[in-house]
Amino acid sequence: MSATKILLSEKEMPTRWYNIQADMPNLPKPPLNPVTKQPVGPEDLSAIFPMELIKQEVTRERWIDIPEEVQEIYHLWRPSPVMRAKQLEKALDTPAKIYFKYEGVSPAGSHKLNTAVPQAYFNMKEGIMRLATETGAGQWGVALSQACNFFGMKCLVYMVKVSYHQKPYRRSMMQIFGSNVVASPSELTEAGRKILADNPESPGSLGIAISEAVEDAAKRDDTNYALGSVLNHVLLHQTVIGLEAKEQLAKDDVYPDIVIACCGGGSNFGGMAFPFVYDKLTKGTNVRLIAAEPSACPTLTRGHFGYDYGDVAGLTPLLWMYTLGTDFMPPGIHSGGLRYHGDSPLVSQLLHDGIIEAKSFNQTSVFNAAVLFAKCMGIVPAPESSHAIQCAIEEALAAKEAGEAKTIIFNLSGHGFLDLPSYDSFMAGKLIDYPLPEEELKQSLARLPQI
């Protein structure tokens, strides 16, 4: 690596995270203790999180320094590139300029390592050397396994059973980095045993796996819990993406009209969008922020705004967010990373206040966009990220219709090299769309906790 490259990297990469809680006109209502239904205090959370992350969860300080040890590991892949998708513009014959930020260059293959590293680090600093977590399709499990490995920590991953069998290579990745990977529901926890007693064939879900990991961490003094999305501190860490992208665009004197990211639990969207929301809130900059989600799991576009649990067993605090209900079983779409019933309280509040927008997309349109993008740019995108691609394509075509030279940037949150079986299904014509039936949504929402 040349010296100039290193100097350039260090200059471009942010050294502070941006905390949007400093600037939001309305903060989300506080999380509630699941038993007492009173606002949770730091002592409620200290059984499973280190103090530093608890502080980051609630602070209203605008800028938070990134510790040097974390920056050093970020430099393994940061700054990640911003590229102009000229070939895609040409294929669409649009006057719009389309840029993308590429987080697939991280060793984990997705943006999730941006928070896995600081989460492992702050636990290690407080003497916790074992973390328990859950993973759906496996991206978060891989990221946390790598991060724990960097700091010499142990990692136990409850992996949703259906993915455990369908995504064997992500499991191998976690095992390479020394993690113990367990199919969830498992016999290791009360939550898991209860589900198995009711249904020995349960394929598992993210909500069940979260219950297992939280229970594991709560029961053991040497173990904390780590969550890959949804919580404020997770979104905080991910703001390196948007801060960095803004700097990179500014070098070319570019500022976007539209910023797009896919949204499951909201950390990818928050990470990309919040630094631009900052401009909108504090400088009145006119920029549209769009969260792209699956129509099979339409939390932001059709969910209910209110309190709900983060997991199936009701062990987590009640969060103030858009939700489809914890009993909601998203169909087996190929974007495993977007199959969560709830969403980040910060993202939810901003949507409710009309500061950001959300749109939903069917998976066949998403895979069409993914293949077009791959053919133009040579990168096979993750199915999750492809929701942002489809959204960008629609905006670029709308710009063409209106004859406007809009500038669009989207975050390509990860590559799809371990999702090739999904592409196989798509090419074989086997993918179907699952727009959520209104009746099913009503039934799930009828079971929301009464607060």
Ligand X SMILES: *Cc1c(COP(=O)(O)O)cnc(C)c1O
Comparing CB distances to ligand X, the nearer of 208 and 273 is 273
Residue of 122, 117, 112 lying closest to 53 (CA atoms): 122
| Piece of 252-260, 278-286, 359-367, 380-388 that binds ligand X (CB under 6 A) | 380-388
Q: Binding to ligand X by residue 444, rule CB under 6 A?
A: no
Alpha helices in 167-321, H assignment, sequence order = 168-176, 190-198, 206-219, 232-238, 240-251, 267-283, 299-302
Single out the residue of 21, 133, 385, 390 in contact with ligand X (rule: CB under 6 A). 385
Smaller CB distance to ligand X: residue 94 or 229? 229
Considering the rule CB under 6 A, would residue 262 count as an interface residue with ligand X?
yes
The reply on whether position 263 binds ligand X by CB under 6 A is yes
Measured from the CB atom, is 96 or 300 closer to ligand X?
Answer: 300
Q: Exposed, middle or buried: residue 374 (CB in 10 Å: 0-12, 13-18, 19+)?
A: middle
Between 189 and 340, whose beta carbon lies closer to ligand X? 340
Please report, as residue ranges, which positions from 232 to 251 form the binding site for ligand X (by CB under 6 A). Answer: none
Q: How far is the CB of 343 from ligand X (least distance, A)?
A: 8
Q: Which residue do the tokens 């969910």 mark?
A: 303
Tell me how far apart the alpha carbons of residues 91 and 434 are, in angstroms, rounded to a whole number.
Answer: 28
CB-nearer residue toward ligand X: 28 or 189: 28
How far is it, in rounded angstroms, from Cα 382 to Cα 303? Answer: 25
**CB of 376: closest distance to ligand X in angstroms?**
19
398-427 footprint of ligand X as x/- string (CB under 6 A)? ---------------xx-------------
The residue whose Cβ lies closest to ligand X is: 414
Residue 133 has phi, psi (to 5 degrees) of: -155, 175
Amino acid at 152: G
Q: Which residue's CB is nearer to ligand X, number 56 or number 229?
A: 229
Candidates 302, 384, 389, 444; binder of ligand X (CB under 6 A) is 384
Cβ proximity of 243 and 14 under 8 Å: yes
Question: Near ligand X by CB under 6 A, which window of 50-58, 171-179, 202-210, 382-390?
Answer: 382-390
| Lookup: tokens for 201 | 């064939």
User: For residues 408 and 394, what is the distance between their CA atoms, to the nearest angstrom?
Assistant: 11
Q: Which of 108, 118, 105 is nearest to 9 (CA)?
A: 105
**Residues 6 or more apart in contact with residue 189 via CB below 8 angstroms:** 211, 212, 215, 216
Determine if 265 is a binding residue for ligand X (CB under 6 A).
yes
Q: Which is nearer to ligand X, 356 or 382 (CB)?
A: 382
Q: How far is the CB of 308 from ligand X (least distance, A)?
A: 16
Considering the rule CB under 6 A, would residue 264 count as an interface residue with ligand X? yes
Site track 77-116 with ligand X (rule: CB under 6 A), x = hit: ---------------------------------x-x----
Taking CB under 6 A as the criterion, the residue among 85, 162, 382, 409 binding ligand X is: 382
How far apart CA 244 and CA 13 sit, in angstroms, is 6
Residue 25 near residue 278 (C-beta atoms within 8 A): no
Pairing of the two strands 407-412 and 97-102 = parallel
Q: Which is nearer to ligand X, 122 or 269 (CB)?
A: 269
Instruction: Give the CA distances from residue 168 to residues 267, 339, 406, in Å, rounded to whole numbers and listed in that order.
Output: 25, 19, 42
Residue whose CB is less far from ligand X, 189 or 423: 423
For tokens 């401009």, name the residue: 279
What number of chain residues touch ligand X (CB under 6 A)?
A: 19
List interacting residues with ligand X (CB under 6 A): 110, 112, 139, 229, 262-269, 337-338, 382, 384-385, 413-414
